[in-house]
Structure 1
């Protein structure tokens, strides 16, 4: 089991969190996603180590950004 936390910029509300959660949950191996909109943080639990490139692509697909410093 692996757990990682990422900074996501551009989120402002619960709908933002839903979009980000939905896209990250599509990544193979992801078992849980928790979004803290106020802190701009997303915690991802998975059954394997995730590639940051995949997480970044999912966040961007949702319309937000994962800064380069997070991977």
Structure 2
């Protein structure tokens, strides 16, 4: 299982987290999405994860990826 972690700007509530979980859940290979609002971090677990697709999903949900963080 592969893991990617992102610092995301603009998340402030559970609705934000749900939007990001929904968008990322539609990306091929994603098995689990965790959102930590306190640290503005999104954790994605899965197989053959495509960084560009994950970033596009977060952006598509209306948020900005500040950086990828080493998982």
Name the count of aligned residue pairs: 69
Q: Cα RMSD over matched residues?
A: 1.3
- Structure 2 unaligned regions, length at least 5: none
Please tell me whether the aligned partners of residues 4 and 68 of structure 2 are also in contact (alpha carbons under 8 angstroms): no
- Please identify runs of 4+ aligned residues in structure 1 that moved more than 6 A: none
2:68 aligns to what? 70
Partner of 2:17 in structure 1? 17
Work out which structure has the larger RCO, using CA pairs closer than 8 Å and 6 or more positions apart in sequence: 2
Following superposition, the deviation at residue 23 of structure 1 comes to: 0.2
Gaps of 5+ in 1: none
**TM-score, scaled to structure 2:** 0.89
Higher strand share: 2
Higher helix share: 1
Mapping of 1:34-53 within 5 angstroms? 34-48=34-48, 50-53=49-52
1:32-57 CA distance string (max 9 Å, x none): 00000110000100022x22211111
